[in-house]
Amino acid sequence: MKKYSFNINGNKYNVEILKHEDDIITLDVNGTTYNVKTEKGAPNIVPPKTPTLVRSSASTNMATVSGSPSGTAQFIKAPLPGNILNILVREGDSVTKGQKLLVYEAMKMENDVLAEGNGTVTKIHVKVGDSVLQGAMLIEIK
C-alpha cells in the first residue's frame, strides 16, 4: 500500500502499511509484521479497500423445493439465473426421489436438478433453450 522510510537515532526503518481495517493497521517494519491498534476516531490513513463480497453457502441441489400447505405438491424453482439445457421428464411422468428432472446451466456450470420426493410431474414451465431468472418456476410435482 504505502511505504515510508524513517531514520530514528541513526537507525533506518523501512515501514510499509499492508492493511488498515477499522482500528487495526498491519505494518511491515524492516521485514517484521506488526498489528497496531489506533485510537478511536483516528483518521483512516489508507483509502478504504474494495468491499469484500460475503456470500451464504450454496446448496448442493440447484433446485428450491417448496411444498403446498397440504404437503402434496413440490414446486421446483431456479435458484440462480441460467439456461435450460435438457428436460428429462414429461408432464404425466412418475418420478422418484433423486431422479434427474432437467439439466440447468448457471454461472457456466451444468447442474442436475433432482426430484426431492416421489410424485407425478403435473406441469413443466420451461422448455429447452429458455433463459430463466432466479426464482422462476421450473417444474411442479404432485
Amino acid at the residue 44: N
Percent of the chain residues past pLDDT 90, beyond the cut: 25
**Which residues 6+ apart lie within 8 Å of 29 measured at CB?**
13, 14, 15
- Residue 52: pLDDT band (50, 70, 90) is low
**Which residues 6+ apart lie within 8 Å of 52 measured at CB?**
none
- Per-residue pLDDT averaged across 45-71, rounded? 52
Asked if pLDDT for residue 86 goes beyond 70, the answer is yes
* Domains located in the chain, CATH noted: 2-37 (no CATH), 64-141 (2.40.50.100)
Question: In this predicted structure, what is the pLDDT of residue 44?
Answer: 59
